[in-house]
Amino acid sequence: MKRPLLSLLINAALFFASYAIKSQNIPEINPNYLNNLFENYKIQESNAFYKGRYLMITPFEFESTLEYFANYKRNIGFDVCIVNTKTTGTTPEAIKNFIQNQYDNLSTRPTYILLAGDVDHIPAFEGDPSGTVKKNPITDLGYSLLEGNDFIADIFLGRFAVANINQLKNIINKTIFMEVNLHLLEKKAVFIAGDEKKGVWNKSYMTNVFKSGHEYVILNSFIPLGYLCLKLYKPDVKSVVNALSNNPLFYFYAGHGNCTTFAGKSFDMGNKEILSATNTIFPFVFSFACKTGNFAQTCIGKQFIRAQNKGAVAFFGSSVNSQTNTDKIMEKKMFGNSFKDEERLLSPMINLGMKRLAKTVGIRSKMKEITLKAYNLLGDPSLDMKGLFASTSDNDKIIHPAHFSLFRNPLNDEFSLAYTLENESFVQIDMCDTEGTLIKNLVQIPQQKAGIYYYNFSLTDLPSNVYDFTYIDSTKRVSMQIKKQ
């Protein structure tokens, strides 16, 4: 029997409210709540797993919003620590020193780091922000260089390059949506190769190089993994927008570019085209092109991740002019065995590919250094590219946690709640005991504008018990329980 969407949302909220604590204070996933979330979930003998320490650095004004995302990550197995820039400092040197101290202490050493904010909130580690000085690319890589004298990252690093809280909510919601639902989505990948301008002596060579990396990974990785691959070589703009609207999981571009545009010669794609697409699935975008990842500017990479219910879940691109042959090799190394056989998380796959690129014979050492610095990840470095439930569920329903969800912090008595109002409405959230007696009115808003709302609450002042929570607006009523130990 098919359950209505509201029932799925209730079960999603119950799942994300669930928690358990192992003897060493490491969170685990509770299979009973997975069973609530997915109709056909098969309970395994053991579902507890520890995914590593996750350090999130954010400006103070984003900290409350980011707590919602942190609680989600805690619920799926991460040990998350949020610190704001009042603690770390606001200069690259101070932030790097804080990270280094965390890394040098085995009890706090992070596996993943998320910088949640634009460069005016959290500066890039180094580089010329104009993107015109090829030897000095804007980069975050230095924050992750914590051992040795090479340019290979020692931890997995990503940035939510957002300017305000609404943009932060957009990328958080897309990240959670994709990770929770990836196991249900069609395996589709788009490969776009640009053209070279007329009259250039090496036009034929350049157009062949743009597509040669695509051809290799399509044949050797994506087709063996069961992906339906669409090739768009020298396409028009309508084709590239339609391809995005067709909801691929991966969206590749190789060709000419600038800060704001995929400049394919036969087409230009910028923010206008991103917003004109009608995709409801948010792909991983990889841009092997010049300057499209210059996050010191309002680059196309930022536009992809900032868009509300559009665009992409992550973007990987260069902050300066790139080298076409090096880009081709990078694509092959990143989406060869490191993607097909070895890694399922976003930043580990990227880092492994970049490490193999650095070992490639024939690329000048200075070019390798520039490339390793120039290419940065805008997105969650811990994002699971195969989905949380790829091997444990055959559920056939997509859920939307942003519609209504509750994420518990497994290590204390705090929790975060989010809901989406499609239209202006009253909102009421009450907490009662199991007998129905009102304990607290958490939210009482006579009229609230349409939008996405996050709240953080605490049970620390209440005794151990089971508590009922009821959310009401003009279109829905949702109830759930939390047990305080």
Write the pLDDT tens digit of every residue in 410-432.
778 888 888 889 899 999 999 89
CB distance 320 to 137 below 8 Å:
yes
| All residues at 6 or more sequence positions from 163 whose CB lies less than 8 Å from its CB, including other chains | 118, 120, 306
Residue 35 has pLDDT above 50, yes or no: no
Q: Is 320 strand, coil or helix?
A: coil
What is residue 415's predicted lDDT score, i.e. its pLDDT?
Answer: 83
Q: How far is CA 95 from CA 57, 347, 379, in A?
A: 9, 20, 19
- Per the listing, tokens 């990143």 go with 334
DSSP letters, 169-214, are HHHHHHHHHHHHHGGGS--EEEEEE----TT-TTHHHHHHHHHHHH
| SS3 at position 481 | strand
CATH no. of 412-484: 2.60.40.3080
pLDDT at residue number 434 = 86
Residue 459 tokens read as 């049970």
Residue 49: the pLDDT is 66
pLDDT score, position 390: 61
Phi, psi (deg, nearest 5) at residue 130: -70, -25
> Over 50: is that where the pLDDT of 88 sits?
yes
Give residue 448's pLDDT: 94
Give the whole-angstrom CA distance, residue 403 versus residue 395: 19
Res 418: pLDDT: 87
> Comparing C-alpha atoms, which of 401, 402, 394 is closest to residue 183?
394
pLDDT tens string 58-71: 999 999 999 999 99
Amino acid at 32: N
pLDDT at 25 over 80: no
Amino acid 249: pLDDT: 97
pLDDT > 50? residue 29: no
Confidence bin at 344 (pLDDT 50/70/90):
confident
Domain with CATH 3.40.50.10390 in the chain: 5-144
DSSP 210-229: HHHHHHHHIIIIITTTT-EE
3-state helix, strand, coil in the chain (%, to 5): 35, 25, 40
CATH of domain 165-378: 3.40.50.1460
Phi, psi of 366, deg, nearest 5: -65, -40
Compute the mean pLDDT over every residue in the chain, rounded to the nearest whole number: 87
Res. 485: pLDDT tops 80: no
Q: Rounded to whole angstroms, how far apart are CA atoms 36 and 15?
A: 7
State how far the alpha carbon of 250 is from the alpha carbons of 146, 159, 189, 356, in Å. Answer: 31, 19, 5, 21
Q: Which CATH superfamily is domain 5-144 in?
A: Gingipain r; domain 1 (3.40.50.10390)
Task: Label residue 364 by pLDDT band (50, 70, 90).
Answer: confident
pTM: 0.88
Res 365: pLDDT: 87
> Counting Cβ atoms within 10 Å, is residue 109 exposed (0-12), middle (13-18) or buried (19+)?
middle
269-to-155, 279, 310, 312, 338 alpha-carbon distances in Å: 33, 15, 15, 14, 29
Residue carrying structure tokens 């605490």: 458
H or E stretch including 366?
Answer: helix 365-374
| Position 129 pLDDT exceeds 70 | yes
Q: With 60 as the cut, is the pLDDT of residue 286 above it?
A: yes
| CA pair distance 95, 110, nearest whole angstrom | 14
Scan for tokens 């304990």, then name that residue.
439
pLDDT (tens digit, 9 = 90+) per residue, 148-204?
888 999 999 999 999 999 999 999 999 999 999 998 999 999 999 999 988 888 888
Residue 40 has pLDDT above 80, yes or no: no
Higher pLDDT, 409 or 330: 330
> Cα 328 to chain center, whole Å?
24
Q: Where in the chain is the domain with CATH 3.40.50.1460?
A: 165-378
Is residue 145 pLDDT above 90, yes or no? yes
pLDDT at residue 42 greater than cutoff 70: no
Question: What is the pLDDT averaged over residues 98-118?
Answer: 97
Q: At what angle do helices 203-217 and 324-334 cross, to 10 degrees?
A: 10
Q: Is the dihedral of CA 144, 316, 172, 448 positive or negative?
A: positive
CA 402 to chain centre: 15
482 vs 383, residue with greater confidence: 383
Q: Kindly report the CA angle at 347 between 345 and 348, in degrees rounded to 5? A: 65
| pLDDT score of 27 | 35
For residue 373, the Cα-to-chain-centroid distance in whole angstroms is 20
The two three-digit tokens of residue 272, written as one number: 């206008």
Kindly report, residue by residue over 398-408, the tens digit of the pLDDT.
Answer: 878 888 887 87
**Spatial separation of the C-alpha atoms in residues 7 and 166, rounded to whole Å:** 27
Distance CA 414, CA 459 (A): 6
